[in-house]
Amino acid sequence: MKILHTSDWHLGHQLYKYERDEEFRHALKQIINIVREEQPDAFLLSGDVYDTPVPSTSAQNCFTQSLLEIHQACPSMVIIVIAGNHDGKSFLNVSRNLWALAGIHVVGLLSSLNPSDDELQRCTNDVEILEHKFDLDSQIIKIADKGFIVAVPHISDAAYPFLSDSNAPSNIRRKQYFSALLEYVDRLNPQHLPVALMAHLALSSGDFSWHDFGLIGGLATTDQSDFGTQYDYLALGHIHKSQNMTFQGHLARYCGSIIPISFSETAPHTVTIVNLRSATTAEDITEITIDPLYSLLTLPSSPLPFDQALQSLTTLSPDLRCYLRLNVLVDIENPLPPDAQLLAQMALKDTNIRFCEIKVNSQKTNVETEDKTISDPSQLREMTPCQVAEYASPEPLSQDFLDMFAEVEQRLKLNNESTNN
């Protein structure tokens, strides 16, 4: 079975307040052409369709029009979309019945069945409990006689369902959930057809170098072992850098975002073609590069005093389409001029280049001191109280202060788990 795996579209994303609709349309047209050429059996979009839970009208129009064109490019192809942590899960889920008319499966939330206590008490194992609690048919899609797609939307750690162990902590519940879900699929699969599992989360073995999780609230990770071995390909979203990971011969992959979301995303952006089979390997993977309409450029490549850095802008073609970050070295003799931002903007005023910021590097400390301004509201939602305090404080916080915050966070976490139980 041939699969096209994509994720992290982040439609509606703004970079330093620049609208990016044209860039998204440019990338999605390429994906439509790839579908037309490759004619996959299944199209997997592994979360973060949108950049915010309540996307703009233009972002919604872009998604709707692009998904319909993707469907038209290969009408026999099954399309499955799951919600990511950036998506409004209920927002996505509300239209799933309409999308189903076009053969498109949208899974924003786990579909609960609300069984009675008597029904649950008659269940003898986790698989039966899961089957009674959730509409698994909405998550498990069989592709003719070629294989199964198991679609799991983003689930916060605290939201994994309780099965037979009503006192299990979140990490155990997550493992029990995936074990029961894949065991259920195995019972539907006597032919042992290949199984692709979709999820939106961070594997502990992944490369997160493109993401500054220290600034935006840390990162909860999942061990690949939590998924067991009853799948042939784990189609992941959440991490923007494309990469493979394996556990006991079972392949997991991040296909990456389709356009660069920050200046740290320096490698090509891609979609993935997978020839899904039992025991899928890296040899069954093909990356196809998405050509960006605007590149992200840090100039000069090594920091220079402001006047020299500004002079480097004269080497750029005025027709170049890019977002630009000026890389400046400062010290006592070469401070940053108070009108530095304006001077950089004026130097680029007759070009297609979109000036973003000045990356300031201190020669004395050899430490980058660029502006910590949070441009993405979702970053604030992911920050813990301790990280908010660290972000807001102009000076490093004492260890005693950090320990106090950590203790408060732990007590709040225990209290919340007790309340949920």
Write down the pLDDT at residue 208: 85
H/E stretch holding 140: strand 140-143
pLDDT tens sequence across 213-238: 544 344 678 999 999 999 999 999 99
**Dist. CA 7–CA 239, nearest whole Å:** 9
Between the alpha carbon of residue 238 and those of residues 47, 254, 255, 256, 257, the distances in Å are 7, 8, 9, 8, 8
259 has a pLDDT exceeding 70: yes
45 has a pLDDT exceeding 60: yes
Give the fold, CATH level 3, of 2-290.
Purple Acid Phosphatase; chain A, domain 2 (3.60.21)
300 upstream amide cis, omega within 30 of 0: yes
Write down the pLDDT at residue 413: 54
Residue type at 213 in one-letter notation: F
H/E stretch holding 301: strand 295-304
Mean pLDDT along residues 181-204: 96
22 Rama sector, left if φ>0, alpha if ψ -120 to 50, beta otherwise: alpha
Q: List 134's β-bridge partners, or say none.
A: 112
Q: Which residue has the tokens 């057809």?
A: 193
Q: What is the DSSP pairing of strand 322-330 with strand 104-107?
A: unpaired
pLDDT tens sequence across 296-331: 999 999 999 999 999 999 999 999 999 999 999 998
pLDDT tens sequence across 234-252: 999 999 999 999 999 999 9
396 has a pLDDT exceeding 70: no
The model's pTM is 0.84
Report CA 30 to chain centroid distance, whole Å.
20
pLDDT tens sequence across 131-161: 999 999 999 999 989 999 999 999 998 899 9
Residues 6+ apart with CB under 8 A from 156: 85
Output DSSP code: residue 266: -
* pLDDT > 70: percent of the chain: 84
**Dist. CA 328–CA 393, nearest whole Å:** 24
pLDDT tens sequence across 71-125: 999 999 999 999 999 999 999 999 999 999 988 999 999 999 999 999 999 999 9
